[in-house]
């Protein structure tokens, strides 16, 4: 697949994502959720859905109690539903479970949720008809995004409320936003496409809401973003090391082999490449340099960035398993049995979302410490106070560091795990829940905050490199500096910083700084 950044750079439309041939990848989730790639359903998937539906129909026409087919839900599972009421049961389920509240969830999260639910439908293990799956594909391809509200999911039985808000659109109820972001009634929006609301049959309502798709979608988006930020953190660290007259000797490959964590080695290799041929580093490499060791925020950058990468790799393994899973209850097995299970529990996803929030907070904390050192004339080895043009009159980046500190403080609170909490629900039938949706929401906020923290360090590092003139930075960091200066001015009289911080944030998010560096040294590890 073409990456999102490549599509943005070339202006080409992303290729369609085919569902039902193999498990989705994280990058495909990003393509559909963020880049609005279209989706297609493989013919083999339709055949599986027909077979799965036959198993459910057999149960639905009989008298044997089957959860969600001929019974109520949750604590009402002991209530038998007569054959004539089973279609009404499914619509009632969707309506009653669409109980979210709070702010609207962002479009990319809802699209990721819908895509992952659709993928599960195409496995045939949910027992829904192909036309139900086709309706999700239609919504995704036409850019109709159901309105999902932030609060309401306990992450078990999956993301019930968010998924129910999406299912409303299938039955022509609730609201959607179109490609232009306009709020529409789903029935009217579907009618414009010549599509009628679908009447859900036995089990289909349950199949549309019983999954971990919201939390998994947010995890996938976060994994993609954190890969970019891991490499960007190496760029910002290199610029700070250089501007603070730090040494590159601590990044020597031989030292990394003494403690051979793969992520640490990758970060150290990046730092060696980024600082190669730096006249600034060379200027204080001789015997006359009196600094014995750099501060931890410089010297230990690969160790922290490496631990961050290890955490990210673990999260990727969990996400890969989840992306290859069919989450529903009950589920249609290969032998035609329809069995109840607990695979909807979001603990695996909730744990790694919390773990990533911890790692992100620590990476941000180290970045903020380097920025603070750049601004302090007592520790910056000759740089002007707060990197101002005329310190005293000019405050320079003083308050940008306050902003960074505020973000890091928020991230430390976001690092408190959600997955250790559990509030029993459904009259104690669902007596242990994952809070995985909450963990994923926290993680998305942490990813945004880390992006902004690194953006501010890059601002400070760029000023620091300029102020070391006439000594030249390394070719790689010089490329980063040039990319920044195309959009953000350098040292000068004080000016409003908020727009510059926002511009820097967009440069980081759009991979412009990382891309400029990689044009010199090749792909970062």
Q: How far apart are CA 242 and CA 408, in angstroms?
A: 23
φ, ψ (nearest 5 deg) of residue 185: -70, 135
Check if the beta carbon of residue 301 is closer than 8 Å to that of residue 294: no
Rg of the chain (C-alpha set): 26
Helix (H, G, I), strand (E, B) or coil at 102: strand
Residues 6+ apart with CB under 8 A from 479: 516, 517, 519, 520
Catalytic residue among 67, 136, 296, 402: 67
Strands 149-151 and 101-104: antiparallel
Sign of the four-CA dihedral 249, 250, 251, 252: positive
Tokens 């969830």: give the residue: 105
Alpha helices for 376-435 (secondary structure H)? 398-414
In 415-470, where does DSSP find H-type helix?
A: 436-467
Give the span between the Cα atoms of 309 and 148, in whole angstroms.
32
Distances, alpha carbon 389 to alpha carbons 240, 362, 396, 478, in Å: 19, 31, 7, 21
146: β partners = 176
Instruction: Report the alpha-carbon distance of residue 244 to residue 141 in Å, rounded.
Output: 50
Dist CA 513 CA 515 (whole Å): 5
E strand segments, 281-355: 331-332, 338-339
Q: Active-site residue 402, yes or no? A: no
Contact 77, 140 (CB under 8 A): no
Q: What are the tokens at 102?
A: 């709070």
Nearest CA-CA partner of 524 in 20, 465, 513: 513
The two tokens of residue 141 are: 């391809």
C-alpha span between 168 and 150 (Å, rounded)? 16
If phi > 0 it is left, if psi is from -120 to 50 it is alpha, else beta; for residue 11 that is left
Q: Which residues are catalytic?
A: 67
């Amino acid at each position: 697949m073409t990456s999102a950044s490549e599509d943005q750079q070339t202006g080409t439309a992303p290729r369609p994502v085919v569902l039902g041939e193999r498990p989705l990848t994280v990058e495909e989730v990003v393509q559909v959720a963020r880049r609005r790639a279209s989706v297609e359903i493989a013919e083999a998937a339709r055949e599986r859905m027909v077979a799965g539906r036959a198993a459910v129909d057999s149960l639905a026409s009989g008298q044997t109690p089957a959860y969600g087919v001929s019974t109520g839900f949750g604590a009402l599972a002991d209530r038998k539903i007569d054959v004539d009421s089973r279609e009404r049961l499914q619509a009632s389920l969707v309506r009653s479970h669409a109980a979210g509240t709070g702010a609207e969830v962002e479009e990319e999260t809802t699209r990721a949720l819908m895509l992952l639910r659709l993928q599960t439908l195409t496995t045939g293990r949910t027992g829904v008809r192909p036309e139900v799956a086709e309706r999700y594909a239609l919504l995704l391809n036409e850019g109709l995004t159901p309105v999902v509200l932030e609060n309401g999911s306990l992450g078990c039985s999956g993301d019930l409320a968010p998924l129910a808000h999406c299912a409303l659109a299938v039955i022509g109820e609730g609201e959607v936003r179109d490609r232009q972001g306009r709020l529409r009634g789903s029935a009217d929006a579907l009618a414009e496409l010549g599509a009628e609301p679908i009447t859900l049959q036995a089990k289909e309502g349950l199949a549309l809401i019983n999954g971990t798709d919201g939390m998994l979608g947010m995890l996938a988006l976060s994994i993609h973003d954190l890969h970019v930020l891991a490499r960007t953190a190496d760029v910002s660290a290199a610029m700070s090391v250089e501007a603070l007259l730090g040494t590159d000797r601590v990044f020597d490959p031989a030292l990394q082999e003494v403690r051979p964590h793969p992520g640490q080695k990758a970060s150290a290799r990046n730092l060696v490449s980024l600082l190669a041929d730096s006249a600034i580093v060379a200027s204080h490499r001789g015997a006359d340099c009196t600094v014995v060791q750099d501060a931890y925020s410089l010297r230990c950058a690969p160790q922290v960035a490496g631990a961050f990468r290890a955490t990210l790799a673990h999260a990727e393994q969990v996400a890969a398993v989840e992306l290859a899973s069919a989450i529903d209850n009950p589920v249609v097995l290969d032998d035609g049995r329809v069995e109840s299970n607990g695979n909807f529990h979001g603990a695996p996803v909730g744990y790694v979302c919390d773990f990533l929030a911890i790692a992100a907070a620590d990476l941000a904390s180290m970045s903020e410490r380097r920025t603070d050192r750049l601004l302090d004339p007592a520790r910056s080895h000759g740089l002007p106070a707060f990197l101002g043009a005329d310190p005293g009159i000019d405050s320079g980046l003083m308050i940008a560091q306050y902003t960074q500190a505020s973000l890091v403080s928020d991230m430390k609170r976001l690092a408190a795990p959600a997955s250790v909490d559990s509030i029993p629900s459904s009259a104690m039938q669902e007596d242990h829940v994952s809070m995985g949706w909450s963990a994923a929401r926290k993680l998305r906020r942490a990813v945004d905050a880390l992006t902004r923290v690194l953006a501010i360090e890059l601002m400070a590092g760029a000023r620091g490199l300029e102020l070391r003139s006439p000594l030249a930075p390394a070719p790689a960091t010089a490329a980063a500096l040039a990319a920044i200066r195309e959009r953000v001015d350098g040292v000068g009289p004080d000016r409003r910083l908020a727009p510059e911080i926002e511009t820097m944030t967009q440069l980081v998010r759009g991979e412009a700084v990382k891309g400029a560096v990689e044009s010199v040294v090749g792909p970062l590890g």
